[in-house]
Structure 1
Amino acid sequence: MKPIPHAVLALCLLAGLPVHAQNADRTYLGYRNDNGTLDIATSDGRYLIRPYDANIVETSFVPRGETFDPASHAVVLKPGQAQATIREADGRIQLVTDGITVTVEKSPLRISYAYKGKPLVAEKEGYGHAGELESIEFALAGDEALYGAGSRAVGMNRRGNRFRLYNRASYGFGNRADQMGYGIPMAVSSHKYAIHFDNPQAGWLDFDSRKDGTLRYEVMGGRKTYQVIAGDDWAQLMDETTRLTGRQPLPPRWAFGNFASRFGYHDEAEARAVVDRFIADGIPLDAIVFDLYWFGKTVKGTMGNLGWDRDSFPHAEAMMADFDRKGVKTVLITEPFVLTTSRRWQEAVQQGVLATDAQGKPFVFDFFFGNTGLVDVFKPQARDWFWNIYKDLKAGGAAGWWGDLGEPETHPSAARHATGTADQVHNIYGHEWAKLIADGYARDFPQERPFILMRSGYSGSQRFGMIPWSGDVQRGWGGLQSQMEIALQMGMQGQAYMHSDLGGFAGPVLDDELYVRWLQYGVFQPIFRPHAQEEVPAEAIFRTPAVKALARAAIRLRYAMLPYNYTAAFDDSRSGMPMMRPVLFEDPDNEFMSTTSISSTYLWGPDFLVAPVTEPGATRKEVFFPRKGSVWFDFYTDEPHHGGILETVTPRPDRIPTYVRAGAFIPLAQPVQSTRDYSTAKLDLHYWHDAGVTQAQGHLYDDDGHTAHAFETGKYELVRFSSRFADGRLALTVAPEPGAAATPTARTFDLKVHNVAAKPRAVQVGGKAIAYHWDAKRRVLDVRLPAVRAAALQVVVTL
């Protein structure tokens, strides 16, 4: 028996698995270096291995008789952006970058991956074929937790499950949902690597459901291609993942405000009354969302009209213009189904924009809303037809788009599309739908940022600006309990804007405590959008005075946090680091974190730690404070908590447990009625001091809130904050960095330094003594700084 090579032996010891040939009938025949691609010939096909960059390598298996399909719907990064060497020695061939090394053992044939000398993962049985499914298998280490597989609610560590890769809505789901609108073919490991299977066709992703240490990807056909992505830490892994599949562009700033939404507003008078009442009640509002009734009086029989019902909305354009003057944008629901009873049916048939049957005729079928056809978004003329409808509605005043039922919700396998059968293209239907809108904006409105709300997509959908939501969640505590996991998992896969219908959607449940707790959580999720079936109102203006007061407080906090939230969204657009982050990101080596996957406590941006209350009548809440040696301060009381422990705290009705990292700079604004009135010219700048933090950094990002590619074109402003503490002196610096095409803003900051135990001996700004106020009870130092425009300003506090 041939000795096991040392590299393979090390991997096997790590995985606790014996060495297997990848396939008993597969043998190595030879290799060649094809301009940087390692081309391995085997008895039943070819392996093509090529680097994208030092931390991303792609492997494709091309069975004998097939040709390599280079097309990817997910990947936008160009390969070959890192130098790689190919070498042969000791019965193996290696492709080596500065990060990943791919080792191909000749006999028995086996492919393994290492990162900077440390084994990552290896193919187990490799490519195989059983029945109607083709598969690729990998060997897992015994201690690996697995995340990914898209949008699900099954527990944070998803190992032990087999997931269907077929986008499907889960109506009324609670604390568990095995299948939802985003079946992303990606596995993310606690060992800080990811495997992305680059094929959208229907299949399965098995996270070791047989308990035999196997990750298995199974697909009905198409590409046998995957990318291995690795990083030194979670931040680098997120950066590499979104370099591969694309960054999420910044949405318009109004998207971070409060939405009025329900199923649905029946007429113009009702919609106007809702907007006016928000303003009268002093509850901030930035958008109103119109569900089905904007194009028809009934739920059934009208889908596909894609135009205003003029009986119910006789002056729709004037209504939207009035809303806009009040700082409220209009978002319209659209669906890809055109009913045979709709006003556009004949037009859709005549223009050939629908999916077809085997004879080339429009494919017609029945579903909940009626007898229908389906827009073929893979067909150029259909994309143009659909976009022109959006363009006309936009000309009338619509500012954002809600794409519903885009799995598609009903998608018979017999339907045919321009690029494949229904099952071949099903998982990228919503992806392509979002792309046609994004492409339309890029072509016809290149200076504007689109708002595209959809519940179904695919790997890389974030690059089109798609904003996903978790679907028709149950209006119950179980529905709330699943939301953190869903959003955190999607952020780990590049989809940073996953959020929920605040308050819950499905069911006529009136539970004031649940409603308030969901909204309090919503302050710290990417989009703040209460939405529900209309039997119980989703809008705060229609709740009891006590509930309305609590909802108002949550919404006003959301608006106060806009400088911080917008900056965190900017960071995601540049680095792929999501706004909602698992505590695993902060404390990956903690023994507690290595054995328990937590979603009940999470990070909001880089500096907030949030623990939503998800149980009725809760008098206790467990909070995990990450990173031993760190300090976290209660956002409301400044009470300190030490990192590296699981602590039980007492929740309050008016807020959820929220903490800020020692050394954090948090810019806050005064709440406004709409982001139309928002400005960063005058802000509160909070800094949480701790003697254990000798230096820290933070920043503020700002632009006009609507121009596309503002950062890339220099139409932005950055303000960098830094601190240094030594010998009883705390030095804080505010340094503006305007973009090349920006006119610098004169900003004034009301600096509030927390955890100052005694009255400072002196405070200097720009080298000169300045008046200040120290609150002995709250232990907060308050210093009003002079305007900062272009030059840096330093504050020195002598403690």
Structure 2
Amino acid sequence: MITDLNNKGVKTVLITEPFILTTSSKWQEAVDKKVLATDKDGNPFKYDFYFGNTGLVDVFKPEGKTWFWNIYKDLINQGVGGWWGDLGEPEVFPSAAFTAQGTADEVHNIYGHTWAKMIRDGYKNDFPTVRPFILMRAGYSGSQNYGMIPWSGDVSRSWEGLQSQPEIALQMGMQGMAYMHSDLGGFAGDYFDNELYIRWLQYGVFQPVYRPHAQEDVASEPVYKDIVTKAKAKKQIELRYQMLPYNYTLAFENNNKGLPLMRPLFFEEQQNEKLLNSCDSYLWGNEFLVTPITKAGVTSTTVYFPKSNNWYDFYTGAKHEAGVTENIPVSADNIPVFVRGGAFIPMIKTIQNTAKYSLANFDLHFYFDEKATSSFGKLYNDDGLTPNAFEKGAYEIINFSSNVNAKVITLKMNTTVGKSFNSAEKNVTLLVHNISAKPTKITINGANIDFKTNATTLEIPVVLKKGLDNEIKIQL
């Protein structure tokens, strides 16, 4: 089955937990190899958990790490693509238990952290050409060093459950855990509310990991929803795939500089004390301003537009002045999302899965704004597979810049190629928004080119050839 799924580009992620039940076929092996936490006399510490009577793998003990990792190793060799470590607080770990590094109470907060490190180290030693996927419910300061992707646990499937998620993600992002996210749609309870479900999925497009998950009482998968809800969910999933170039570049920035993917508004206005406790809106990367809808029946909401730039509605193109607070109408089809004036937003057409990702053809949206006289952007690219690709020089970065005056918009594209990367030609559809009158002429590297107009958007075909820069001039 795993092989069949891999052949379709679908990765298998298995949920694993560090508890070994006394009824498990692995119990006696774990006892014989002394890989479990112990009591004060050195015997395996057994206790009742909701799964049954159990022991816990001692991930602080070399023998425990080796034994546990070998189970992972065998499954990776069978084609498993990633790991979901659950209950790693550990959820139940009585104070009377002992590990190689201390009592249960002493190591409680670093158990999940050490578990993630064990998996990361295992990949590094045994699968050095594979990027590990490590989803964990528990961690500690610095767990991001092991590639840990945390989530907010078994959140209530309710509007109250949704309301806390942006703040949790923002707080964790500032602590280094940039991939903090939630079970989209909520996890716990049998509350059935399609409006809540869709609002959570709409928010999900602009947060680190897109992953519906829930108890079985109400299915979390879009395929099980009614026709209308399923269609709305499909649009959000498609948009998430279309955003891959922008989002992958955010991942690069996090890897390169530690920047969170979700950023509080005071990143934009550090002297504005009113924004220090604001989490109603946030920045998705540098270019998007996002306002999640976290209450039922909302038809309008208040949005503050940071003063550094004008902002444009991502869905309608409507302009909003910098530094202004407005009451914004809210659509059932999307949450309020705005793009910074002068921003470059790379996107692709919808794909079936990330294995199909390619920049051979992509769209580059430029949000012209007369007040943004100059701006910069970039698009990071590698093979999507190689660990530490940037550090190995196995990458390329496409740089974008704009310079605007009353008569000419000048856009430049050039590529920085790492020493170990083979860059290829790319076909770019440049979409310039907010152009009120048809240009008199557009040139690329001095040569006139044909272009299309659609309302206030220009469509310009650009070929990025290996080793060559492009300068596009739009005569207004």
TM-score bin (small chain): over 0.9
Residue in structure 2 matching 1:774, options 446, 453, 474: 453
| 1:450 partnered with 2:450 | no
Give the letter for the 2:457 counterpart.
Answer: V
Q: How far does the alpha carbon of each residue in 1:455-498 deviate from its partner, in whole angstroms, 9 at most, with x for none?
A: 10000000101000000001110111110000000000000000
Does the Cα contact within 8 Å between 1:497 and 1:526 map onto a contact in 2? Answer: yes
Q: How far does the alpha carbon of each residue in 1:384-403 deviate from its partner, in whole angstroms, 9 at most, with x for none?
A: 00000000011111110010
Match of 1:764 in 2: 443
Residue in structure 1 matching 2:334, options 639, 645, 655: 655
| 1:351 partnered with 2:33 | yes
| 1:755 partnered with 2:434 | yes
Q: How far does the alpha carbon of each residue in 1:617-669 deviate from its partner, in whole angstroms, 9 at most, with x for none?
A: 1111122211x252010011111112223221111111110100011000000
Q: How many residues align?
A: 476
Shift of 1:787: 3.5
Match of 1:625 in 2: 305
Give the letter for the 2:305 counterpart.
Answer: F
Shift of 1:411: 1.2
Q: How far does the alpha carbon of each residue in 1:231-265 deviate from its partner, in whole angstroms, 9 at most, with x for none?
A: xxxxxxxxxxxxxxxxxxxxxxxxxxxxxxxxxxx
Does the Cα contact within 8 Å between 2:88 and 2:112 map onto a contact in 1? Answer: yes
Q: How far does the alpha carbon of each residue in 1:715-760 deviate from its partner, in whole angstroms, 9 at most, with x for none?
A: 1111000011124211100101111111111111100111111111
Shift of 1:591: 5.0
| 1:575 partnered with 2:257 | yes
What pairs with 1:240-251 in structure 2 (closer than 5 Å)?
Answer: none
Does the Cα contact within 8 Å between 2:464 and 2:470 map onto a contact in 1? Answer: no
Shift of 1:579: 0.6
Structure 2 gaps, min length 5: none
Match of 1:464 in 2: 146
Give the letter for the 1:785 counterpart.
Answer: V
| 1:712 partnered with 2:394 | no
Take 1:679 and 1:620, find their aligned partners in 2: how far apart are those partners? Answer: 38
Superposed structure 1 runs of 4+ greater than 4 Å apart = none
Q: How far does the alpha carbon of each residue in 1:48-97 deviate from its partner, in whole angstroms, 9 at most, with x for none?
A: xxxxxxxxxxxxxxxxxxxxxxxxxxxxxxxxxxxxxxxxxxxxxxxxxx
Match of 2:156 in 1: 474
Using the TM superposition, name which of 364-373 and 558-567 deviates more.
Answer: 364-373
Take 2:65 and 2:322, find their aligned partners in 1: how far apart are those partners? Answer: 52
Match of 1:169 in 2: none
Give the letter for the 2:284 counterpart.
Answer: W
Give the letter for the 1:622 counterpart.
Answer: T
Using the TM superposition, name which of 423-432 and 642-651 deviates more.
Answer: 642-651
Residue in structure 2 matching 1:552, options 211, 234, 253: 234
Residue in structure 2 matching 1:786, options 454, 463, 469: 463
Match of 1:736 in 2: 415
Does the Cα contact within 8 Å between 1:499 and 1:525 map onto a contact in 2? Answer: yes
Take 1:787 and 1:437, find their aligned partners in 2: how far apart are those partners? Answer: 40
Take 1:459 and 1:641, find their aligned partners in 2: how far apart are those partners? Answer: 39
CA distance 1:389–1:591, shift in 2 (3 Å)? closer
Does the Cα contact within 8 Å between 2:187 and 2:215 map onto a contact in 1? Answer: yes
- Percent of aligned positions that are identical: 55
What pairs with 1:62-211 in structure 2 (closer than 5 Å)?
Answer: none
Does the Cα contact within 8 Å between 2:425 and 2:463 map onto a contact in 1? Answer: no
Q: How far does the alpha carbon of each residue in 1:245-296 deviate from its partner, in whole angstroms, 9 at most, with x for none?
A: xxxxxxxxxxxxxxxxxxxxxxxxxxxxxxxxxxxxxxxxxxxxxxxxxxxx
Shift of 1:789: 2.1
Match of 1:311 in 2: none
Give the letter for the 1:575 counterpart.
Answer: K
Take 2:326 and 2:270, find their aligned partners in 1: how far apart are those partners? Answer: 18
Give the letter for the 2:362 counterpart.
Answer: L
| 1:795 partnered with 2:475 | no
CA distance 1:520–1:414, shift in 2 (3 Å)? same
Higher relative contact order (CA 8 A, sep 6+): 1
Give the letter for the 1:794 counterpart.
Answer: E
Match of 1:600 in 2: 280
Match of 2:2 in 1: 320
Residue in structure 1 matching 2:43, options 361, 373, 376: 361
CA distance 1:591–1:645, shift in 2 (3 Å)? farther
Take 2:54 and 2:464, find their aligned partners in 1: how far apart are those partners? Answer: 61
Give the letter for the 1:388 counterpart.
Answer: N
Give TM-score, length-normalised by structure 2: 0.99
Match of 1:391 in 2: 73
Q: How far does the alpha carbon of each residue in 1:157-182 deviate from its partner, in whole angstroms, 9 at most, with x for none?
A: xxxxxxxxxxxxxxxxxxxxxxxxxx
Take 1:727 and 1:536, find their aligned partners in 2: how far apart are those partners? Answer: 56
Match of 1:697 in 2: 376
Give the letter for the 1:774 counterpart.
Answer: T
Take 1:736 and 1:485, find their aligned partners in 2: how far apart are those partners? Answer: 36
Does the Cα contact within 8 Å between 2:287 and 2:343 map onto a contact in 1? Answer: yes
User: Which structure is larger by alpha-carbon Rg, 1 or 2?
Assistant: 1
Does the Cα contact within 8 Å between 1:476 and 1:504 map onto a contact in 2? Answer: yes
Q: How far does the alpha carbon of each residue in 1:184-239 deviate from its partner, in whole angstroms, 9 at most, with x for none?
A: xxxxxxxxxxxxxxxxxxxxxxxxxxxxxxxxxxxxxxxxxxxxxxxxxxxxxxxx
SS at match of 1:329: coil
CA distance 1:406–1:769, shift in 2 (3 Å)? same
Does the Cα contact within 8 Å between 2:37 and 2:57 map onto a contact in 1? Answer: yes
Match of 2:366 in 1: 687
| 1:485 partnered with 2:171 | no
Does the Cα contact within 8 Å between 1:405 and 1:455 map onto a contact in 2? Answer: yes
| 1:532 partnered with 2:214 | yes
Give TM-score, length-normalised by structure 1: 0.59
Give the letter for the 1:335 counterpart.
Answer: E
Take 2:427 and 2:371, find their aligned partners in 1: how far apart are those partners? Answer: 28
SS at match of 1:557: helix
Take 2:272 and 2:300, find their aligned partners in 1: how far apart are those partners? Answer: 24
Q: How far does the alpha carbon of each residue in 1:287-339 deviate from its partner, in whole angstroms, 9 at most, with x for none?
A: xxxxxxxxxxxxxxxxxxxxxxxxxxxxxxxx011111111000001101111
Residue in structure 2 matching 1:517, options 196, 199, 205: 199
Q: How far does the alpha carbon of each residue in 1:111-159 deviate from its partner, in whole angstroms, 9 at most, with x for none?
A: xxxxxxxxxxxxxxxxxxxxxxxxxxxxxxxxxxxxxxxxxxxxxxxxx
Give the letter for the 1:537 counterpart.
Answer: A
| 1:432 partnered with 2:110 | no
Take 1:698 and 1:373, find their aligned partners in 2: how far apart are those partners? Answer: 52
Q: How far does the alpha carbon of each residue in 1:16-35 deviate from its partner, in whole angstroms, 9 at most, with x for none?
A: xxxxxxxxxxxxxxxxxxxx
Structure 1 gaps, min length 5: 1-318
Residue in structure 2 matching 1:615, options 295, 298, 301: 295
SS at match of 1:588: coil
Match of 1:292 in 2: none
| 1:498 partnered with 2:180 | yes
Shift of 1:605: 0.8
Residue in structure 1 matching 2:60, options 378, 402, 407: 378
Take 1:684 and 1:793, find their aligned partners in 2: how far apart are those partners? Answer: 16
Give the letter for the 2:95 counterpart.
Answer: S
Take 2:366 and 2:465, find their aligned partners in 1: how far apart are those partners? Answer: 17
Give the letter for the 2:130 counterpart.
Answer: E
Shift of 1:368: 1.3
SS at match of 1:785: strand
SS at match of 2:460: strand
Shift of 1:774: 2.1
Take 1:786 and 1:420, find their aligned partners in 2: how far apart are those partners? Answer: 61
SS at match of 1:786: strand
Does the Cα contact within 8 Å between 1:604 and 1:610 map onto a contact in 2? Answer: yes
Does the Cα contact within 8 Å between 1:736 and 1:788 map onto a contact in 2? Answer: no
Does the Cα contact within 8 Å between 1:590 and 1:644 map onto a contact in 2? Answer: no
Residue in structure 1 matching 2:317, options 624, 629, 638: 638
SS at match of 1:750: strand
